[in-house]
Chain A
Amino acid sequence: MSKVFLALQAVEETRAIIEAIKEDNEHAVVEQQPAMTRVTAEGKLVVNAQTVSRYVGRDWDPQEIQLVLISLAGNVDEDYDHFTLYWEN
Chain B
Amino acid sequence: MSLDIKSVNIKPKRETFGHVARRIGEGKMASRYEEAVLDVQATANFHYRPLANPEFELYDVKKTAIVMEDWYKFMDPRQYHYSSYVIARAKQQEVAEQNFVFVEKRNMLETMPEEVKDLILNYVLPLRHYEWGANMNNLHLCAEGYGAAITSAFMFHAEDRLGIAQYLTRIGLLLSENDAVILSNAKQMWMDNGAWQPLRKAMEDTFVLKDWFELHIAQNVVLDAFIHPLYFNILEQELNSKGGSAQAMMTEFITSWNEECARWIDMTVKVASSESEENKELLNTWCKKYIDIAYLAVMPLAQKVLDNPEESMDEIKDALVTRLNKNGLNL
A interface list, Cβ under 8 A from B:
12, 15-16, 32-34, 55-58
Whether A58 lies near B7 (C-beta < 8 A) is no
In the complex, per-residue mask of B62-89: 1 if CB is within 8 Å of any chain A CB, else 0: 0000000000000011111000100010
Tell which of A32, A33, A57 touches B33, judged by Cβ atoms closer than 8 Å: A57
Tell which of A34, A56, A57 touches B76, judged by Cβ atoms closer than 8 Å: A57
Whether B77 lies near A15 (C-beta < 8 A) is no
B9 at the interface (CB under 8 A from A): yes
Whether A15 lies near B31 (C-beta < 8 A) is yes
CB distance from A53 to the nearest CB of B (A): 11
Tell which of A16, A32, A58 touches B31, judged by Cβ atoms closer than 8 Å: A16
Whether B9 lies near A56 (C-beta < 8 A) is no
Whether B9 lies near A57 (C-beta < 8 A) is no
Whether A57 lies near B29 (C-beta < 8 A) is no
Tell which of A32, A33, A34, A57 touches B79, judged by Cβ atoms closer than 8 Å: A57
B210 at the interface (CB under 8 A from A): no
B32 at the interface (CB under 8 A from A): yes
B interface list, Cβ under 8 A from A:
7-11, 29, 31-33, 76-80, 84, 88
Q: Give the residue name and chain of the B residue nearest to A57 (CB).
A: B79
Whether A12 lies near B31 (C-beta < 8 A) is yes
Whether A15 lies near B29 (C-beta < 8 A) is yes
Tell which of B7, B8, B11, B78 touches A57, judged by Cβ atoms closer than 8 Å: B78
Whether A12 lies near B78 (C-beta < 8 A) is no
CB distance from B162 to the nearest CB of A (A): 22
Q: Give the residue name and chain of the B residue nearest to A16 (CB).
A: B31
Chain A residue numbers with a CB within 8 Å of B9 are: 33-34
Whether A56 lies near B79 (C-beta < 8 A) is yes
Q: Give the residue name and chain of the A residue nearest to B77 (CB).
A: A57
21 residue pairs bridging A and B, Cβ less than 8 Å apart: A12-B31, A12-B32, A15-B29, A15-B31, A16-B31, A32-B11, A34-B7, A34-B8, A34-B9, A34-B10, A55-B31, A56-B79, A57-B33, A57-B76, A57-B77, A57-B78, A57-B80, A57-B84, A58-B78, A58-B84, A58-B88
Q: Give the residue name and chain of the B residue nearest to A10 (CB).
A: B29
Chain B residue numbers with a CB within 8 Å of A55 are: 31
CB distance from B32 to the nearest CB of A (A): 5
Whole-angstrom CA separation of A20 from B72 in the bound complex:
23
Chain B residue numbers with a CB within 8 Å of A56 are: 79
CB distance from A23 to the nearest CB of B (A): 14
Q: Give the residue name and chain of the B residue nearest to A56 (CB).
A: B79
Whole-angstrom CA separation of A58 from B8 in the bound complex:
36
* B8, B29, B78, B80 interface centre (most CB from chain A within 10 Å): B29
Whole-angstrom CA separation of A57 from B149 in the bound complex:
14
Chain B residue numbers with a CB within 8 Å of A33 are: 9
Whole-angstrom CA separation of A57 from B9 in the bound complex:
31
Chain A residue numbers with a CB within 8 Å of B78 are: 57-58
CB distance from B209 to the nearest CB of A (A): 30
